[in-house]
Amino acid sequence: MWEDLLAGLDPEQRAVAEAVEGPVVVWAGAGTGKTRAVTHRIAHAVHSGAHEARHGLAVTFTNRAAGEMRERLRGLGVEGMQARTFHSAALRQLRHFWPRAIGGSPADVLPRTAPLVAEACRRVGVAPDPAVVRDLAAEIAWAKQSQVPAAEYAVVAAHREPPTTHAETAAVYAAYDDLRWERGLIDFDDVLLLTVGILTDRPDILDEVRAAYRWFTVDEFQDVSPVQNRLLDLWLGDRDDLCVVGDPAQTIYSFAGATDRFLRDFPRRFPDATRISLVRAYRSTEPIIAMANRLMASGAGESVPLRSMQGPGPSPVIEAYADEPAEAAATARRLASWHDAGTPWREMAVLVRINAQMPVFEEALSDLGIPVVLRGGERFFDRGEVREAITRLRGAARAGEQQAEWIEEVRSILATMGFGAQPPRGSGAVRERWESLASLVSLAETMQAERPDDMSLRAFIDELDRRSESQHAPVADAVTLATVHAAKGLEWDAVCVPGLVEGTFPHSQSIASADAVGEERRLFYVAITRARRHLVVSWSRSRTPGGRGQRERSRFIAEAVAEGEVVSVDDSAHGASVTRARGRSRGARGGARGVPARCRTCGKALVTGPERARSRCRSCPSTASEDLMDRLRDWRLAKAHERGVPAYVVFTDATLEALAEARPDDDEGLLAISGIGPDKLARYGPDLLVLLAEAPDGA
């Protein structure tokens, strides 16, 4: 019976599953079935009697991946096997041996280190600014994962850029550890360090652990940190029943101390290891794999090109937008159209580089009523600084008179929390905090621009409350909105990767160093290879509507898209142009539906995005009547009120102008207007047709 088990594997995967003894290293690209091969290997080892499930330990990096591994093993008839993250495996041992090794009952694990780091700052005279505290907490975590104690920090970490000076960081680190011990607490990283410490100091305990666990499997081994690798070595002892799988092209946790060194060195360390590489990519279709291969060819790594087993599929789409809200709105429409075509929400994901990108997408999805789950990021309205900002704004609204200059008031209240016109240098928590506050200010500005007559501080707070509530509705079948880091190992039918601008992806902090850009490239590789069938990569020129910031398209787009294959990538006021990564450009968004890419007045070919959105070249005057434009604007304002969204979410000026010029009288005519898709047609079509029909001729 267990022989059938291997029937669903290709020859190389089968070789992995059959190599049940001794060291094994599988080095292979994204979606080649590494996780599948090792779970089958475990099942095969157990069913063939080579190993006992109860003596096995399978380790991976996220709770979700560990849960999936347990599920898959159960599906393959394996009971009683431990599948855990490094952290949970260590914590289990630590708790068990604590009374004997340390005495008393196990210490509690600190859920958040920041409050104690803040206290440590005060103890050594470093100003405990919340954002600096968060960055210090991250730096201490890196040091612990890298097995760098406080006393050695200043020397060993001389190459790093800590949030304060090296000496201060080391002092805070030492004070933090003292405080922790005084209170009898441990943190997430101590769990690993202490387990390593106990197993190193106590041969009796080590023997017990080695008697319990005798064979090991590690997935995503490219992201192992020095302390995790040390723990693995202790578990293993002089045995060699260790199977590791990984992909150096997917090392994305270097910033937290991970390194692919251990994967690369594995054959040197175990010269008789069975070495297998997998090259058939089962997850993604040919066009997606072609894009991933091109991207990796641009990196310095020696990655082997992948071959897709999924055959042809839709070409990845590269889209450009004028601004982030337009990009987010289009992403939401795209998800809705996949859903209309039969893809369930849970088979879709929007993957972003940093948490700060999430709010605008949460917002756009909730505008279209799309259910969403967040991974790896805090909900915007759950962030400490956002809650604090709203509390402060509410206090001001209660205390003060209604002010006409309420935006100024918002700015000055947020200024007391660290908001300024320019973003702070670098990244990390200080930058994320600024980004959160900037999101609030730009929301205020947008609302004021769209509803100048009835906006006030109070109305703004009501709007924030409304949004916060709608984001907290629990959901089951939902689109995943996640950081790329949180998406590793996972897969979806359809994936959108927005925000491909220099400074975001690659991140501004990484641009100066080739190594750091390499890690960003690997992150982008992880992002695009999560998609089975549909992939959309997008970027926008400015952050806010009407913003002048000319952001540059990420270098990764040029690297991933074959030369000569992008015919045009340009933006428009709302509807974006769509450019196929392969094949012919379809021109402006509406162009795919037959909107002439020519000026409707003089017939000249249209070049820029805004021209296409208006279906009119720059030199021809608008034929829209002012009266009709006024009626359309009034109608838009009423709709925006009704739905509680900024007016540009209803329609942009360019779309209104195109409507007033073309005066469509049926659904098809409406759909031909750039900026009107099936959702907007369903939502606003009937209204618009009545409004346009009722407007006096020639008005």
Binding site for ligand ATP (CB under 6 A): 8-10, 13, 28, 30-36, 247, 250, 282-283, 489, 491
Phi/psi for 64 (5° steps) reads -65, -40
Tell me how far, at minimum, the Cβ of 2 lies from Mg ion, in Å. Answer: 23
Query: Could you tell me if residue 530 is left (phi over 0), alpha (psi between -120 and 50 degrees) or otherwise beta?
Result: alpha
270 binds, among Mg ion, ligand ATP, none (CB under 5 to 8 A by kind): none
Looking at the Cβ atoms of 134 and 532, the one nearer to ligand ATP is: 532
Q: Please name which of 680, 683, 681, 650 lies closest in space to residue 666, comparing C-alpha atoms.
A: 681
- If one asks whether residue 675 binds Mg ion (CB under 5 A), the answer comes out as no
Q: Is 324 helix (H, G, I), strand (E, B) or coil?
A: helix
Binding test (CB under 5 A) with Mg ion, winner from 13, 32, 35, 615: 35
Tell me how far, at minimum, the Cβ of 16 lies from ligand ATP, in Å. Answer: 11
Phi/psi for 245 (5° steps) reads -130, 145
Tell me how far, at minimum, the Cβ of 533 lies from Mg ion, in Å. Answer: 18
**Structure tokens given for 657:** 């102008």
Looking at the Cβ atoms of 35 and 542, the one nearer to ligand ATP is: 35
Tell me how far, at minimum, the Cβ of 258 lies from ligand ATP, in Å. Answer: 15
Q: Per DSSP, which regions of 228-287 are E strands?
A: 242-246, 274-276, 280-281
Looking at the Cβ atoms of 2 and 282, the one nearer to ligand ATP is: 282
551 binds, among Mg ion, ligand ATP, none (CB under 5 to 8 A by kind): none
DSSP code, position 31: T
Q: Which residue has the tokens 């079935």?
A: 33
Looking at the Cβ atoms of 31 and 428, the one nearer to ligand ATP is: 31
**Structure tokens given for 638:** 């009423």
> d(Cα 386, Cα 355) in Å, to the nearest integer?
13
Tell me how far, at minimum, the Cβ of 311 lies from ligand ATP, in Å. Answer: 13
Looking at the Cβ atoms of 113 and 480, the one nearer to ligand ATP is: 480
For Mg ion, the nearest residue by Cβ is: 35
Looking at the Cβ atoms of 34 and 636, the one nearer to ligand ATP is: 34
Q: Please name which of 253, 220, 213, 249 lies closest in space to residue 69, comparing C-alpha atoms.
A: 220
For ligand ATP, the nearest residue by Cβ is: 33
- If one asks whether residue 33 binds Mg ion (CB under 5 A), the answer comes out as no
User: Cα–Cα–Cα angle for 632, 636, 639, nearest 5°?
Assistant: 140
Tell me how far, at minimum, the Cβ of 28 lies from ligand ATP, in Å. Answer: 6
> How far does the chain reach from its first CA to its final CA, in angstroms?
79
Looking at the Cβ atoms of 194 and 523, the one nearer to Mg ion is: 523
> d(Cα 120, Cα 140) in Å, to the nearest integer?
12
- Please tell me whether the peptide bond between 344 and the residue prior to it is cis, using omega within 30 degrees of 0: no
Looking at the Cβ atoms of 35 and 315, the one nearer to Mg ion is: 35
- If one asks whether residue 222 binds Mg ion (CB under 5 A), the answer comes out as no
Query: Looking only at residues 434 through 493 of this chain, which bind Mg ion when binding is defined by CB under 5 A?
Result: 489
| Structural contact between residues 658 and 615, judged by C-beta atoms closer than 8 angstroms | yes
Tell me how far, at minimum, the Cβ of 309 lies from ligand ATP, in Å. Answer: 7
Q: How many CA atoms lie within 13 A of 499 on its CB side?
A: 24
195 binds, among Mg ion, ligand ATP, none (CB under 5 to 8 A by kind): none
Tell me how far, at minimum, the Cβ of 103 lies from ligand ATP, in Å. Answer: 41
Binding residues for Mg ion (CB under 5 A) = 34-35, 489
